[in-house]
Amino acid sequence: MQGWLGGAYLWVLSAHVIFVIFWIAGLFALGRYLVYQRETAPGSEAEALWGRRTGVLRRMILNPSMFLVWGLGLALALNLGLAGQGWLHAKILIVLLLSGWHGWAVATSKTLGRGERPYSDKRLRILNEAPAFAVILVVILVIVRPF
């Protein structure tokens, strides 16, 4: 399936998978960071430490990986062709929702850093599972291609 990427197709696909792994690992960590940050006392040194950890995670892993996933993924999608690829449309929708979760989690960390606690521990623990469900759906879509 070379398309316009030619001989670079497998390299682009490999890079895409690598950065998907980095991004998802970062999202799993970010979800846990939110739970830990929520458990700290507002204004405490521990809260500030979790805020700094989240910032480093965002700058070093999450944001670069997400942008590379999108760029490489769109190149692969255009190489494949979008017509008649229902599984690909569904995958793109899930990745778009996952990108929104990424933005929500970063914003929530900043909110927690200001000492606000808009979500309970239980709610954060439940929301922490969203990336896992997204990964399950995407893998099924890519491997099985049900439609």
Query: Residues within the annotated binding site?
Result: 16, 91
Q: Break the chain into its structural domains and give their ranges.
A: 3-144
| 3-state secondary structure at position 16 | helix
Tens-digit pLDDT profile for residues 5-44: 999 999 999 999 999 999 999 999 999 999 999 999 999 9
Residue 2 clears pLDDT 80, i.e. is over it: no
The pLDDT of residue 84 is 84
d(CA 100, CA 131): 11
Encode burial over 101-138: b for 16+ CB neighbours within 10 A, e otherwise: bbeebbebbeebbeeeeebeeeebeebbebbeebbebb
The pLDDT of residue 145 is 95
Q: Fill in the DSSP letter of residue 124.
A: H
Report angle CA 102, 92, 108 to the nearest 5 degrees: 10
Check: pTM over 0.85? Answer yes or no: yes
Query: Residues within the annotated binding site for heme?
Result: 16, 91
* Closest C-alpha to 142, from 80, 66, 97, 83: 80
